[in-house]
Each structure stands twice: as structure tokens, then as C-alpha cells.
Structure 1
């Protein structure tokens, strides 16, 4: 059975593969594969889920059995672990997180020594070892564990280094929502140390409240807070800090498509960026048209930040992302980073001397409806009934619409997306297609 999805291993806590026994074996298998470069040292970080304690201990034991030393970072954003793996010269970085999922879920994902997602070949070798008997290193060769106490401060300084040294956020009032997740300690400090007045939200994790009514997947509370505090804007991260959405002073939600455009426009207008921009199959048509107006090429990758990253590397480009707020600025970091992406947007505001609302107005977002159909069994999206329904919707909308059906890589869901000029029409078509998916999935 295949263990790795599009972003590591993920599932409900206590159910395969997210059991302590399996995660112990996963740590051992990963240690046997990743600890062969002579450094034999991995860094482990986590978000704030209560199950993180259990899985941290299991991974630590597995790596130790493989003879690999462990550096424990505690609660830290996923991109911080990627950065610290590079700067502390680790063999690999390990993240215990289920990102935007509720606390009942958890997951394990890996970074290479260069702070990038593991290539498929390495994941395949780890998969192979999971089927082999577990061995234990000689007692004198067992791995040791050590906690890194200054990890947060190191990462804060790195984030600040991604904008001009003279950039000041003075006179900006910002509400920062950390989703009760991994960024709850570091994110507010980054913006405060650059001079902003920061109102904190989602910074009281209790192990159970991660992403619960807060964060980038549930921005309602942040919209209200921006209004109550009369803030200039709001910043919402997800549970592991690699995604960001923003709220302008009027309470409008600005997703990753709009933020990616603002960053690309600033890079083009101020720095003469000549590369292209990579979105995904889910990126709004409005982003594609806006990027084309910048005279920059635009390519759609498969959904998932690792696929965006792959296309960026193939093309030699620097900027890409997803509407969910996972934005890659490869001239700043090796992976998507919510804090760093937000900083690039704030820097664009300062450079252009414009408000967030003014910068966002250059993108016309087409109405888009996404319906998630939960199904416990595989759905054949090439079923004749499905193909006929999609063809009918595409003919009805013409050239101004798009349809996308895909299976989630992290949850048992079929995602049905319809995009077009008229919101009511789009919503109706999406529900019609979702009904067909449910019919095909019915036992």
C-alpha cells in the first residue's frame, strides 16, 4: 500500500498510517535512507496538535534506531524547518503536521538537505524499506537527540532578511491570525520587529484548537477583527504556516492568486523580473489574464505546491503558487512560506505607496465554486456519465468558463471546480457535477 501522498504521509490520528507504531517505523526507514550522506543528522519540528508529542517521540526513536542524530525544534512553521535544515546542515528536515486539517488529523513530511521536498525516488526507497524488517544500530552507534533553543530567533531573522533592510512597517496596523498553529510565537514578532502595530489572533494553542474558526481556511473572524480594530489589513496563516491569505481594510478576502499577482507585479515593475509565473489547475482565470497583462508567461501545474515547484525549476522561474495561499518565491526561500509571502506583499505596498486594496484591484477574480465530495472509495472520473456531464457544462459556459475535477491528494475527497463569468450559473453547474460524482460513488 502506498504511504506517501502529494505532501508526505497524512491521516486520522490512531488510524493507519498515523499510529505510533507506523511512525516509529517511518522514522527508522527515513533514517536509513536520508542519513547516508555522512552528516547523519535530522531536524524535527511540529505544529501545535496534541498528537505531535506522541509522533515526535516515535520519530525520534525511529531515527535513533537507524543511528541518526535528531535535533528537536518544537512548534515551528513548516518553512522554518526547511530553512533550518539548510542552515544547520542537516541531512533532512521532518515536519509533524496536517497543515490546515483539524486537530484529529496529523501527518509527517520531509525536506531534503537543501530545504526542498523529497524527490519521488527517495520517497520510493523509504516506501521499500517500510516493508523490510526493522533493524537497530549497534548500541554505540545509536542516534542522540538534542533540543535547539534558538530556532525561533534564527527563523525570525531569516524572514526579515527577505525584504530590503530599510523597509519599515511603521504606521501600519495589522491583525495577524496564526490559526493557533505552528507560527503562533514567531509570526507576530516578525511584523512587530519591522515596526508594525500588531493585533494577535489565533496565538493561544491548546492542542485541540488548531484551525478551529481561525486561520487561512476560515477568515471570518479575521475579517471581523480588521473591522473592529480599524486595521489596515489582516494576515491569516494556516496551521503549519506555509499558506497565507490577507484581508484588506474593507474586509475583502485576498487569496493566493491575488497575492501572487501583487508580488509578481512588484518584481516586474521594480526589479525587471523577466521570468514567468506558475499557477495550478485551480488558479483563477483572472490571475492568468492579469499576469499576461504584465507581459509575463503563465503556466498551470498540477495542484500541489510540489508540482508548482517542479515546473518553476524546469522553467528556471522564481514565482508560483496556489489560490489556497501557498506561494513560492524561490528568490527568497526554497519552499512556500506564509510569513515571507506576506512580507513581499507588504514590501510592494511600501514600494508602490499604495494600499492593499489598490494593489489588489488590478486582478478581476472570476466567480469560482469548489464543491468537495467526500467518498471512501475510488471514483472513476473518466466514467461516461461524468464525461457527458462535464461536456454539457463546458458547452453551456463556452470559452469564458472552466471545469476541473480531481481527487484530493491528502483527503478522501473529489474536488469539483467550476469557474465562469456569472456566479449563480457557476454554482449551479458545480452542484450538478457534484451530484454526478455522488451517483458514481454510490455503492
Structure 2
């Protein structure tokens, strides 16, 4: 087992990883930008190294500085968390070249699944159902027109290297296609440095269902149930729950086994997530694989009792999974609300600033993953998510009531947040019935 791990991230996920390491008796190294000198992860780690200025490209995306900090402190492994370098195959390969363990999949697996058009080709060959669309990247507007007419409108133009809802356009007719194709390409080029695109049939009002998988180096690949991530704003998740209210045992088993097949198709090791669209007829389609730990991993932990960060570390250290698929039992129901520092009434504009007063909720079945504290100043430089509120109940109804109670107790003063929006959503009839889809949130926001 590793003696020391460097966490190449910030915020709540860095704190989450440090806590897991402490429980495993592993020393930790935090890295931080100049804007994060007072951050909680810096204070909790055994050591901390400044790796650059506030901008992410100069610090949390600075591979050379992160590798140097790892060598300097004698850490044997790097946990990338999510975002930043977590799905960067160049960084994973650089770690390997420097004899540092990357706590995640191989660079080859990241490359295969990170490029969405390439992943699509691999899944088709593996017999995994995919949304009808282009077999690979779409190079020209002429190709885009031909493919769109072949599969029929509406279609989705998507960036091959995309993520976070960027580089995506929904096109409902030929007259919109050229402009949407060009703007999506430009957005992808600016966001990811890669303007390659692909096209899929747009599945109207689907459920976004993802399956958590774990895979060790000994051929054991398991699925840990599903998460319903359909509550989204502009393709970004806001509320996640596990299990899905509309899932049955037969469909879960079928989708889980397909998720395992997808992971094995790229010789995947470590924790990952296979994402599907589920339509109203019960048909499902692979959309992408996230080759890292997910923001919403806590809901899976709450219903399985499995610590996914510890499992990641164990797998990276060469250990075998010590449980089988039959041992994975889903108990109760869990919900996660992403708490963002944003002005909901002003088009969700980020709301950085100093937290003047803070009160976290507590009680049975309530968990907070966060790196904020009273007096902390949220920098304007990074993502607006400042906390994750997770609850567990014996069933979905208890989980909803517990989440509402916890949201009532959650007080943050000094910045604007989306806490009130979460409370409203949990009282909506469609949510209470579990009958909401990926377009639901945007529809009710415009009522």
C-alpha cells in the first residue's frame, strides 16, 4: 500500500480523498494555487505545495509543477479527483513515465473512452447499444447534413472531447444545422483544444441513467447499481439519486451487465461510470464513459456501503476486489443536491465572495461533502459548486423528506446559493413521482 499520496485537485473532492487516506493510514500532500492558500484541503493535508497562480491552467492543470511536487514530497501516487487532469491521458502517461502511480485507469483506456466519437465506435463493435448517429467524427458540414437527414431530426451535435455540457447543440431542422455546427466546433476548440464533432439522434425527454463500475487488475469488473442524473440544467447535473425511481430488477441487471461489457471492451481498471439514455419504452443507449470518480459518487456509497475512494486506492495499489457481484446489495434510497454559489434569479450567475455565516445540517442519514467554512472566501476562478448535501433513507419518500428537512437547516450567508431552488424541486409533483427527464428542469424554470 502507498505510504503517501498527492491529491491533484481542490475543493470538496480533495477533502474527500484526504479523509479516505487518513482512514487508511496514508500520508497526504495537497497542492494549491495562490487563490487557495487558505483552502480547507490545504489545512487538512499532512503537507501542502503551492503549484502556481490562481488560473487553473497555471496551477491545477500544470502537469510539470504537479509532477515536481510529487517527486519533491516523495509521494508514490497521485489521485486526480474529478475535473482538471482526471481524464487527461497525457498526464496519466506522464505519471507512468515518472514511476508515479496514477489512481485511475490506464492512459490507453482514457484515450479510448475520452474521445466520444472513438468510444462510440468501440461500443458498436462490443455490441453495446448506442444512439443512432455518425460512426465516427464528422469532418464537414456536408457530412453533417447527410448524416442528419439519414437519421432524421432532431439531432445533437456533440464535441468528441466534450464535457460539462459544452460543445453541444440540439438541431431541429436543416436551416439551423450550419450555424449550430460551426458554433459548437468553435466552442469545443476554445474549451478543449479539439474541434472534432460527432452527431447523434436527439432522444426526446429521456432519463439520464449511469452505472457505477469497479474493475481490478485480475479481471473482476462489477456494477454497483445505477444513479438517476436526469435533473439537469443546460446538460449539467443538479440533483442525483440512487436507485432510480423507475428502475426494476430485470432492467437494472440488463443495463448493469451491458455496463460491465462496455468497461471490459477497453480493458478498464479502477472506478468509472457508464452513462446511458433511457427512453420511455425502456430502450437504453450508451452515451459516454467517465473514466474517473464522479461528483455524484456519494449516493452510490450510501446505498451500497462501499467507499469508492478507498476502492480506487486499493485497485491502484494492485489489490483484488474483496467482494463479488452477488455481494453488492442496494439498501434504501439516497439523494444528492449540488449546492452552488450562484444567483438563481440572475440566470444562475456565479456568486463568489466571503461566507459571513455558515450552518451545516446534521442528523441521522445526512452527509455533507464540502470544503467551505465560516469566514472562507469563495474565489471567482473555479467552479461554483461549494458543497454536496447527501441524504439516505429507508425508501425514496423518507429520503425526500430528510433532504427537505436538511435543506431547511442549511444556512449560508454572504453569497447567493441555489438552496431554495433545490427545496422547490423536491416538492414538484413530477419529482415526487420520479417521472422527470433531462429536459424537465429547464421546462419548469420557464413556467
TM-score > 0.5 by shorter chain: no
Q: TM-score, length-normalised on structure 2?
A: 0.33
TM-score by length of 1: 0.33
